[in-house]
Amino acid sequence: MKPTAQVSNRQAELYSFGKMLDATITCLPNGLALVDPNFNIIKINGKYIELLEITIPLSPGDSIPNKVVPHIWDNVVDTDEMMAFLKQCAEDPKATVEGAMSIKQPYKRIKLFSSPVQDDNGAMIGRVVVKYDVTAEEKFAEALKETVEKRTLELNAKNKELQSTMEELRRTQEAILQTEKLAVIGEMSGKMSHEILNPLTAISTRIHLRQQSASDMLKIMGAMRKVILEWDERLNNGDLLDYLIRSVDGTTCGSNDIHLLKQICEALHVEREQYGEDLSFMEGQVLRIVRLIEGFREMSRRQRIIEDVEIKNVVDEAIEGMRDGIIKRDIQITQDITEMPTLKADAVELISVFSNVIRNAIQAVDEKKGAYKKQINVTGWFDAERNRINVRISDNGVGLSVENREDIFKQYTTKGREGTGLGLSLSRRIARSYNGDMCVEKSEPGQGATFRIWFELKQGR
């Protein structure tokens, strides 16, 4: 083929490619402009002009900075934003630059993108500038933001309403619990008399023993007085020395008298120690009565005293409050409570909870017939996984049948001779008011029973 023919074909191809390029640029859904290094227009499509609301004719060679920018200046929301984009393109010709701008009338939010065009040798020959409308996306984002804010406000309002409802529920629960407390006060007057009678009986028994001991001491003191009087008489008669060295059955009278006096002194020493122990014991019983009366009075309070309560301390208080009954019935009670977090609660109410369960255990082992070792075990631990305080109280008493396991938590149901049927019912309500509960974990008739009491701590503790 001749050179002229080759050139002609090449020109035809270039012309066809140029027409196709023009058609492509024109049909693009986004604004596009091809500019030379000085931002003079080479090609520009209608979408570019439409986006910028350009109303003047533009031709190849027109300068964007000198002709387009002044024309749209007053219709741009933030000219600094637009100029920052052009400045970055000018300062770094080979960099890909992104930016944004907004048109006032009609409002549009436009994203800007500019990429350099280089020849085969890497020389800068121009730029492609693309502009695309993101107004819809921006409006959607704003609408989404407004919806989220609206929903957040609604959720906050619902949350406040829920908190208010929960607070009202808490107050209602406290009112119900208080009403039950007042009912318990009326029902447990007889029980209170019995509880006070226990330490009074213990004091009476100890006084009776003291009286017997006093009678014995009078006999001992009589013997001592007899020795002293005899010595005094012989001293006056002048034969005390002869009496002391006189031998009777191989032992002198003096040795016998001194041995007797030593025994009397030892008996007096023992009696003095016992006297001190008896006074301490009776003082403890009096304090026990005081605690019972104070506890009974506390039950009628309207206002709880919420504080950080150590579970081990309240269990100790509950056991100590029934120490006399435990000793009287010859019951062995063991306690193993590991270190655990404190519980926000009213200590008096918790003492009542544990006292009621331990009292039931005492009655259960006391009612079991036959000779056996009476045993009550109290264990406590913290379940970190469930964030729960646990206390288990078990005995080897008469036990419970399956049908009675839940009945014992019903009001006015009792299995003990001295119960009112209110203790465990109230105890469960108190436990539940502190986000806890109680249950019969296991029991068989004649094999004892195991109760478990637990309290779930609030998150963050």
pTM: 0.43
Residues 50, 88, single domain; the answer is yes
Last residue of a domain, one of 240, 272, 297: 297
3-state secondary structure 94-160: CCCEEEEEEECCCCEEEEEEEEEEECCCCCEEEEEEEEEECHHHHHHHHHHHHHHHHHHHHHHHHHH
Q: How many CB atoms lie within 10 A of CB 285?
A: 20
Residue-level pLDDT at 438: 93
* Residue 167 within a domain: no
Whether residues 334 and 261 share a domain: the answer is no
Position 174 in a domain: no
Residue 268 falls inside a structural domain: yes
CATH code of 29's domain:
3.30.450.20
Residue 126 and residue 68 share a domain: yes
Of the CA atoms within 13 Å of residue 234, those in its CB half-sphere come to: 16
Q: Are residue 372 and residue 415 in the same domain, yes or no?
A: yes
When comparing pLDDT for 345 and 192, which is higher? Answer: 345
Nearest-angstrom CA–CA distance, 299 and 313? 19
Do 319 and 246 fall within a single domain?
A: no
Look at residue 113 and tell me if it is in a domain: yes
Average pLDDT on 45-61 reads: 87
Minimum mean pLDDT range among 51-60, 273-282, 316-325, 377-386? 273-282
Q: Are residues 315 and 283 in the same domain?
A: no
165 pLDDT band (50/70/90 cuts)? confident
- The whole-number pLDDT of residue 418 equals 41
Last residue of a domain, one of 87, 113, 133: 133
Angle CA 454–310–428, to nearest 5: 30
Q: How many percent of the chain have pLDDT more than 70?
A: 85
Lowest-confidence region among 57-71, 80-94, 217-231: 217-231
The mean per-residue pLDDT over the stretch 423-447 comes to: 88
Clarify whether residues 338 and 366 are in a common domain: yes
Strongest mean pLDDT among 79-88, 204-213, 250-259? 79-88
In this predicted structure, what is the pLDDT of residue 17? 61
Q: Is the pLDDT of residue 424 over 50?
A: yes
Q: Pull the structure tokens for residue 239.
A: 């034969």
pLDDT at 300: 56
Asked if pLDDT for residue 296 goes beyond 70, the answer is no
Range of the domain at 293: 194-297
Task: Please tell me the least confidently modeled range out of 121-125, 148-152, 278-282, 311-315.
Answer: 278-282
Candidate from 174-188, 201-215, 444-458 with smallest mean pLDDT: 174-188
Torsion (CA) 144, 147, 149, 155 in degrees, nearest 10: -140
Residue 261 included in any domain: yes
Average pLDDT estimate for 98-109: 89
State the Rg of the chain over Cα. 50
pLDDT band at residue 409, thresholds of 50, 70 and 90? confident
Convert 23-68 into a string of H (helix), E (strand) and C (coil).
Answer: HHHHHCCCEEEEECCCCEEEEECHHHHHHCCCCCCCCCCCEHHHHH
The reply to whether 435 falls in a domain is yes
Contact 320, 231 (CB under 8 A): no
| 449 and 327 part of one domain | yes
Mean pLDDT of the chain: 81
Stronger pLDDT, 12 or 342, i.e. the higher one: 342
Count the domains in the chain.
3
Beta bridge partners of 332: 375
Residue 120 lies in a domain: yes
Give the domain CATH number at 437: 3.30.565.10
Same domain, 24 and 126: yes
Residue 333 confidence (pLDDT): 94
pLDDT on residue 252: 87
Residue 362 vs residue 172, higher pLDDT: 362
Domain boundary among 297, 332, 355: 297
**Type of residue found at 181:** K
Confidence of residue 412 (pLDDT cuts 50, 70, 90): very low
Q: Which residues contact 339 (CB under 8 A, 6 or more apart)?
A: 382
Q: Are residues 225 and 315 in the same domain?
A: no
Sheet (strand 436-443) strand order: 332-337, 375-383, 388-395, 449-456, 436-443
In a domain, 381, yes or no: yes
- Residue 358 is predicted with a pLDDT of 92
Taking residue 436's Cβ as centre, other Cβ atoms within 10 Å add up to 22
Q: Report the SS3 class of residue 338.
A: coil
| Same domain (yes/no): 439, 326 | yes
pLDDT tens for each residue of 314-347: 999 889 888 878 888 899 999 999 999 999 998 8
Tell me, yes or no, whether 258 and 283 share the same domain. Answer: yes
Pairing state of beta strands 332-337 and 375-383?
parallel
Can you give the pLDDT at residue 297?
66
